[in-house]
């Protein structure tokens, strides 16, 4: 369902509209204001090592908390010393898709080094011994604009409209449970509606990049309700770290959570918060609110006593979409 919020400002465009990656294909639907045709994109970074097929498992149409909420998942299983209980969940940004699908799209093909498979391998090196879950957005409008409709109310281009009870945490809980069953992992999460307990030692790290940060933001708004939900309490307690990587979306506000009440819930839930940004998002003069909101997010959490770390990457380099993506490798 499309939210009431519309994309009305060129300055509020999502990743590739703001970067002028390309215009919307003729006849392909409404065009976000301000998007332009571009010359060929800059040279892509050196490709990451090719993923090992035997360790990567693609799971399609996995249900979450409700049968009609479906997402494709990519699982990278650990090699070497294994952590049977450590799990990392990654929410990608615009244009990021499975390698095969990116190769077929002219706008996406130059950015295949940031495909879901290659990012999974990068995260496997960043979090050795853990299971890496990459959650594909449920809709990719025009093969470019990620929309996480199953996690947060969103418009056509993926701009969110947050609420306290949309069910993002419950959907993630269901997705992981069904995904673990489909993958044949030992000690999967019990089904929703059944036992509330989790496997012994189950630990969860959440990572959002660019548009994917809207999912983390939605979860923050749901914390107050989740803390009183007997079924979600153990799952919430299993989240040890949340990483915001250069968050951005096509709306004109709420790129970062600034609501003091919601941030108070985050500060008291025991999660370590990490914010990694680049000049591409927080120093863009055409989207100045992003930097202001980021500063308010950090300041409020520090004042509330949260465990928070933050870093501006590539601060002495010109803002670029290449460095925006590179934060995935650098954080």
Note whether residue 300 is domain-resident.
yes
Note whether residue 88 is domain-resident.
yes
pLDDT in tens, 2-33: 333 333 333 334 444 444 333 333 334 444 43
DSSP letter for each residue of 201-254 = T-EEEEEEEGGGHHHHHHHHHHHHHHHT-TTTHHHHHTEEEEEEES---SSSS-
Q: What CATH number did the domain enclosing 121 receive?
A: 3.40.50
Nearest alpha carbon to residue 321 among 47, 148, 95 = 95
pLDDT of residue 79: 82
CA distance readout (Å), 150 to 34, 79, 327:
28, 31, 26
Note whether residue 125 is domain-resident.
yes
In whole angstroms, what is the distance from residue 55 CA to residue 63 CA? 22
pLDDT of residue 287: 95
Are 136 and 72 within 8 A, CB to CB?
yes
Q: How confident is the model at residue 196 (pLDDT cuts 50, 70, 90)?
A: confident
- Count of CB atoms within 10 A of residue 254's CB? 19
Q: Is the pLDDT score of 257 beyond 50?
A: yes
pLDDT in tens, 214-246: 999 999 999 999 999 999 999 999 999 999 999
Give SS3 for 330: helix
Note whether residue 313 is domain-resident.
yes
Domain that holds residue 294: 56-189+211-329
Nearest alpha carbon to residue 14 among 209, 214, 248 = 248
Note whether residue 5 is domain-resident.
no
Q: How many domains are contained in the chain?
A: 1
pLDDT of residue 13: 40
pLDDT in tens, 36-85: 333 445 555 555 544 444 589 999 999 999 999 999 999 999 986 666 68
CA distance readout (Å), 46 to 3, 254, 329:
38, 33, 12
pLDDT of residue 26: 34
User: Taking the alpha carbons of 52, 53, 54, 55 in that order, is the dihedral positive or negative?
Assistant: positive
Note whether residue 197 is domain-resident.
no
Look at phi and psi of residue 111 and say left if phi exceeds 0, alpha if psi is from -120 to 50, else beta.
alpha
Note whether residue 40 is domain-resident.
no
Q: Tell me the H-state helices in the chain.
A: 15-18, 99-103, 116-126, 168-183, 213-227, 233-237, 260-267, 279-282, 288-303, 321-330
pLDDT in tens, 279-289: 999 999 999 99
Note whether residue 77 is domain-resident.
yes
Global pTM value: 0.85
């Amino acid at each position: 369902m499309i939210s009431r919020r519309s994309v009305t400002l060129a300055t509020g465009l999502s990743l590739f509209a703001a970067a002028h990656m390309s215009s919307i294909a003729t006849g392909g639907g409404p065009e976000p204001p301000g998007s332009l045709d571009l010359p060929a994109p800059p040279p892509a970074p050196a490709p990451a090592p090719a993923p090992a097929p035997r360790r990567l498992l693609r799971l399609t149409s996995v249900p979450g908390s409700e049968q009609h909420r479906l997402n494709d998942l990519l699982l990278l299983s650990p090699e070497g010393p294994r952590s049977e209980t450590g799990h990392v969940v990654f929410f990608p940004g615009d244009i990021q898709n499975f390698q095969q699908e990116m190769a077929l799209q002219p706008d996406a093909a130059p950015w295949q080094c940031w495909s879901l498979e290659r990012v999974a391998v990068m995260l496997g090196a960043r979090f050795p011994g853990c299971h890496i879950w990459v959650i594909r957005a449920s809709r990719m409008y025009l093969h470019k604009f990620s929309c996480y409709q199953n996690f947060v109310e969103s418009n056509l281009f993926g701009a969110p409209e947050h609420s306290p009870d949309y069910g993002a945490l419950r959907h993630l809980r269901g997705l992981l449970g069904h995904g673990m069953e489909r993958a044949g992992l030992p000690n999967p999460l019990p089904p929703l509606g059944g036992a509330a307990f989790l496997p012994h030692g189950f630990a969860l790290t959440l990572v959002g990049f660019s548009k994917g940060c809207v999912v983390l933001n939605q979860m923050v708004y749901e914390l107050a309700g989740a803390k009183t939900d007997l079924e979600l309490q153990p799952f919430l307690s299993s989240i040890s770290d949340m990483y915001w990587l250069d968050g951005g979306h096509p709306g004109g506000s709420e790129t970062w959570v600034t609501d003091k009440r919601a941030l108070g819930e985050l500060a008291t839930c025991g999660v370590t918060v990490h914010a990694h940004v680049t000049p591409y998002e927080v120093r863009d003069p055409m989207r100045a609110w992003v930097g202001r909101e980021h500063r308010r997010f950090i300041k409020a959490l520090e004042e509330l006593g949260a465990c928070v770390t933050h870093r501006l990457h590539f601060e002495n380099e010109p803002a670029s979409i290449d460095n925006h993506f590179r934060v995935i490798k650098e954080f």
